[in-house]
Structure 1
């Protein structure tokens, strides 16, 4: 067990958080992460709150370990979301894709621990002022919805750590014990994994998507919609995303209209296959417990070797 502020706040063995990917981060994935000693997260970015409620109920049968919920503010417009989450007995929430002031106060009043996802220093300051317990610091190399002025985690993480004292979970490029050790060296006390989990055995996405991650080189993603309306996104390079990159649509989110045909039908050109650059380092589909066990074992090996090197 790793003891630090993140594990103590969240009541988990290992400071590894599973990213809240829409339609993917549901009970099979989240319970596998929690049972492996990390923090499983149930998504809300799909907007399917009735289904989310059922997924939370399923979690009670699949794990006795702590788990959390993400509130993706850009996709969840229901003003009752705080009561919804609190009524499910959730103790940990990450908020993202919006103003941290919107939900932090009510969530804290309901007794929840709140971490907010930030892409830059200004966002970190705003979240701290809102009263969050911690931050998920997300570099531009990560997959999914991004800030248009992206900053690599290697720059962003130590910058924010120098300016704030709350616990930080590092997101973007996290896939192994070496990347976890690097994040800790830069000031993190936990990591979040997304693309690594999309390609896991428990992930519900079609095998075509998993195979595309395994086949992707380090240059196999594209950064979309830097100058258009709506959010920017990092995704796998496909025929569709290559066309979008060179000829951006007026409304990028319309490109996700047929997302389920991609997610579960396997049509890699039906929508945008969100993915981080770390896809270029993933070459095997593994169960989540094995992923976590390998990350933690390698993390300790690297930390011990670096300690020995410093003492030499």
Structure 2
């Protein structure tokens, strides 16, 4: 495979990567096995902290040093790590890129920046984007409601949210929600993004540690194959449709943790009914399990093709 030409923009300058493709920080999943594969492919592998398993996470960071000499980052899911020394913990990992989510970045942005770390905050609405900008973040991850995982109870699609936020700020934006290939990347860039974050696409890749049953469920899913749950509470979440999630769908609010207690049985044991399999609507566009390297290279190659085709067709 001929390596795609690197992309030079503000996101790649801040991340130190060849390509502005960020791997989503999925709890228990975004660890060294997956993150190193993404980083080695020229993207930005990200280690999660949402699980709260800090001893394991520290070990995963050490593994990253053995598995890649490329840049990688971490995510700080603020509401899930309250009462911990998460800021000092992350700074000690000697990384240069952090995404923050699920809370106000005001509690950590300055400390991270003083340590030489670039901070991108995940935002699901314009109001939250403006608050993050006031906190002095370096950039935004603009996350549409079609994405998988924990969401805002009032979801806004990437098609609406991304250009809206772009109209109000010049900060670099990474688009999340619906991103899986060069076509979606080109669309995001047309609306003002300079990078894309992939969750479901990376969850279902060959380098992901999740059980093959979950990967194949993503491949088999239709575009209507997800459900939006817990919409009358916080956090809401988007997941694959299973017997469990179909039962939960009409319930406006429920105790999420009761349905996530057996996460290992789902994630790594392959029991699709053991817990809630968080996945985005983009599962309907994923039709095969590919390596992280192929995903990154195919995405960038197709991105260039789409941009060139549009320029040839309309630049008369």
1:98-113 correspondence to structure 2 within 5 Å: 98-113=103-118
Corresponding residue for 1:25?
30
Which deviates more, 184-193 or 244-253? 244-253
How far residue 283 of structure 1 moved from its aligned partner, in angstroms, is: 0.9
Question: Any residues of structure 2 matched to 1:163-312 within 5 Å, and which?
Answer: 163-228=168-233, 230-248=234-252, 250-312=254-316
Q: Residue 231 of structure 2 contacts residue 252 of structure 2 at CA under 8 Å; is this kept in 1? A: no
Of the structure 1 ranges 210-219 and 97-106, higher mean CA displacement relative to structure 2 is found in 97-106
SS of 1:246's equivalent in the other structure is coil
> Does the CA-based 8 Å contact 2:109-2:137 persist in structure 1?
yes
Deviations 1:176-218 (CA, angstroms, capped at 9, x unpaired)? 1000000000000000000000100011111111111011000
1:125 — aligned with what?
130
Q: Say yes or no: does 1:51 pair with 2:53.
A: no
* Residues in 2 aligned to 1:216 and 1:75: alpha-carbon distance in whole angstroms: 29
CA shift, 1:250, in A, is 3.2
TM-score normalized by the length of structure 2: 0.97
Within 2, Cα distance between the matches of 1:311 and 1:99?
Answer: 43
CA distance in 2, matches of 1:21, 1:73: 14
Residues 232 and 253 in structure 2, CA contact (< 8 A), matched pair in contact too: no
TM-score by length of 1: 0.98
Flag structure 2 segments of 5+ consecutive residues without an equivalent: 1-5
- Indicate the SS of the match to 1:163: coil
Corresponding residue SS for 1:101: helix
Map 1:59-74 → 2, pairs under 5 A: 59-74=64-79
- Count of residue pairs the alignment pairs up: 311
Q: Which runs of 4+ in 1 moved over 6 A?
A: none
SS state at 2:19 partner: coil
Which residue in the other structure is 2:3 paired with? none
Checking the alignment, whether the CA contact within 8 Å between 2:231 and 2:253 is kept in structure 1 is: no
Measure, in 2, the Cα distance between the counterparts of 1:263 and 1:51. Answer: 16
Which residue of the other structure, out of 162, 167, 171, is the alignment partner of 2:167? 162
Of residues 232-241 and 79-88 in structure 1, the stretch that sits farther from structure 2 once superposed is: 79-88
Question: Which consecutive unaligned segments of at least 5 residues does structure 1 have?
Answer: none
- Counterpart CA distance in 2 for 1:247 and 1:161 is 35
What is the root-mean-square deviation of aligned Cα atoms in Å?
A: 0.9
Residues in 2 aligned to 1:16 and 1:96: alpha-carbon distance in whole angstroms? 18
